[in-house]
Amino acid sequence: MRTARGSATMAPVEPSRAVVSGAAIRHNTEVLRSRTSAQLMAVVKADAYGHGAVHAARAAVDGGATWLGIAQVGEAVALRPGLPDVPVLAWLFSPHADVREAIAAGIDLGLNAPWAVQHVADAAAALGTTARVHLKVDTGMARGGVRPEEWDSFVRAALARPELVVVGIWSHLARADEREEPTTARQAEVFADAVARAEHLGITPEVRHLAASAGVLWHPATHFDLVRPGISLYGMAPDGSDPGALGLVPAMTLEAELTTVKRVPAGTPVSYGHTATVGATTLGVVPLGYADGIPRQASNRGLAVTVGGRPAPVVGRICMDQFVVDLGPDATERAGDVVRLWGPGGTSIEDWARAADTINYTITTQVGPRVPRVHVEEPWT
């Protein structure tokens, strides 16, 4: 745990923490592996969806992941020293990015557009080495990747550069979280066709990959050689449904220490704008706010934090650094007592997402840098 001056003997100065269970991530990785015969690339972008990239990656590797996937090249370079022996794919960079450090570190690069072929090949040539690349075809997401009609010339361009070693062919699914939707099957067909054309042109990819969490869970025909789950590793379902029904365990518990506890009379209006008024009760101040990723949209939506095993409703507007909860008229809590915003047995990440009209992905990803991540190996409690 981080402490006030880095000393192990001092109490932490931060009033909150995100407790991340390595055991939960390991368990979730094993659950996903049991659903496929493909290899598993643990997606640890955006600091592992807020969980801490290096620790999450190690836990996923312990659970059987054999690849790591990350969006930005800088994230991959930062991750590399912590996991020097696991293949890492990074797929997001612009024509202005200097990718030489990534190539020198042995990081695989996803090529999303024709310019990237020359860009990465030139960088490898400047280093006097080769770069491992994965060619991306746009099978229907209309985000990264080249469209099928440009695919053959893209493949030929890559083959023409001896500095490129084509390790993978890949794409991404747009609607796999809608279990019965036919787009996924169509994308898989377009993908299989693109792979066949690349092989005809002379590429023998080590890995063909298309599926993220939803593909792993609900579309076996999209698994190919490698699957790329992210959200499900952290114990959340890609469609926002109950993760427990899939055997997944949420890996993050968010908790904070009350900074103020006080009795107030009936009719007390609370927080900015006085959007809520309470009866005679005890209010507690939670030192987390929208600067820490707590969604302001969840104000006055009937959400509760958990304190002493019981729910304490959020009252009034969530502010930048803090918000107020109603501890009830008979509360015995004091400043310093711990409240749990989400975690086992209480309000869930999905509850927060629903209250804020967003998705579970954004809730953990937005937990800000002021909140220390405390990595525990023990199972979740």
Ligand X SMILES: Cc1ncc(COP(=O)(O)O)c(C=O)c1O
Of 49, 136, 262, 272, which residue is the catalytic one?
A: 272
Contacts of 299 (CB under 8 A, 6+ apart): 271, 275, 314, 316, 317, 318, 323
Instruction: By CB under 6 A, tell whether 360 contacts ligand X.
Output: no
Closer to ligand X by CB, 235 or 346: give it. 235
Instruction: By CB under 6 A, tell whether 229 contacts ligand X.
Output: yes
Closer to ligand X by CB, 74 or 313: give it. 74
Closer to ligand X by CB, 67 or 323: give it. 67
Closer to ligand X by CB, 97 or 288: give it. 97
Instruction: By CB under 6 A, tell whether 43 contacts ligand X.
Output: yes
The residue of the chain with the least Cβ separation from ligand X equals: 230
Angle, CA of 302, 253 and 63, to the nearest 5°:
135
Q: How far is the CB of 359 from ligand X (least distance, A)?
A: 10
Helix intervals (H) in the chain: 22-33, 45-49, 53-62, 73-79, 100-104, 114-127, 148-159, 183-201, 213-218, 349-355, 360-365
Closer to ligand X by CB, 44 or 331: give it. 44
Closer to ligand X by CB, 144 or 287: give it. 144
> In the window 279-318, what residues touch ligand X (CB under 6 A)?
none
**Contact indicator for 108, 124 with CB cutoff of 8 Å:** no
Q: Name residue 51's amino acid.
A: H
Is residue 361 flagged as an active site residue?
no
CA distance 45 to 194: 26
**Contact indicator for 127, 103 with CB cutoff of 8 Å:** yes
Instruction: By CB under 6 A, tell whether 213 contacts ligand X.
Output: yes
Other CB atoms within a 10 A radius of the CB of residue 329 amount to 12
Choose one: 230-238, 253-261, 339-347, 363-371; the region binding ligand X (CB under 6 A). Answer: 230-238
CA distance 149 to 286: 55
Instruction: By CB under 6 A, tell whether 250 contacts ligand X.
Output: no
Positive/negative CA dihedral, 91, 94, 95, 96: negative
Instruction: By CB under 6 A, tell whether 172 contacts ligand X.
Output: yes
Instruction: By CB under 6 A, tell whether 228 contacts ligand X.
Output: yes
**Contact indicator for 310, 332 with CB cutoff of 8 Å:** no
- As a whole number of Å, the CA-based R_g of the chain is 23
Q: How far is the CB of 344 from ligand X (least distance, A)?
A: 21
Long-range contact set of residues 201-204: C-beta below 8 Å, sequence gap at least 24 = 201/152, 201/155, 201/156, 201/159, 202/159, 203/135, 203/155, 203/158, 203/159, 203/166, 203/169
Tokens, residue 23: 């055991």
Tokens, residue 67: 């690849």
Instruction: By CB under 6 A, tell whether 219 contacts ligand X.
Output: no
Of 45, 49, 290, 361, which residue is the catalytic one?
A: 45
Closer to ligand X by CB, 213 or 222: give it. 213
Tokens, residue 58: 């190690």
Number of residues that bind ligand X (CB under 6 A): 10
Choose one: 20-28, 228-236, 276-284, 299-307; the region binding ligand X (CB under 6 A). Answer: 228-236
141 three-class SS: coil
Q: How far is the CB of 254 from ligand X (least distance, A)?
A: 19
**Contact indicator for 38, 225 with CB cutoff of 8 Å:** yes
Q: How far is the CB of 141 from ligand X (least distance, A)?
A: 9
Q: How far is the CB of 131 from ligand X (least distance, A)?
A: 19
Is residue 262 flagged as an active site residue?
no
Q: How far is the CB of 231 from ligand X (least distance, A)?
A: 4
Choose one: 11-19, 227-235, 325-333, 337-345; the region binding ligand X (CB under 6 A). Answer: 227-235
Q: How far is the CB of 230 from ligand X (least distance, A)?
A: 3
Q: How far is the CB of 209 from ligand X (least distance, A)?
A: 8
For ligand X, which residue of 238, 287, 295, 316 counts as binding (CB under 6 A)?
238
Contacts of 344 (CB under 8 A, 6+ apart): 250, 253, 380, 381
**Contact indicator for 285, 326 with CB cutoff of 8 Å:** no
For ligand X, which residue of 212, 325, 327, 356 counts as binding (CB under 6 A)?
212
281 three-class SS: strand
Which residues of the shown chain bind ligand X in the complex (CB under 6 A)? Answer: 43, 172, 212-213, 228-232, 238
Catalytic residues: 45, 272
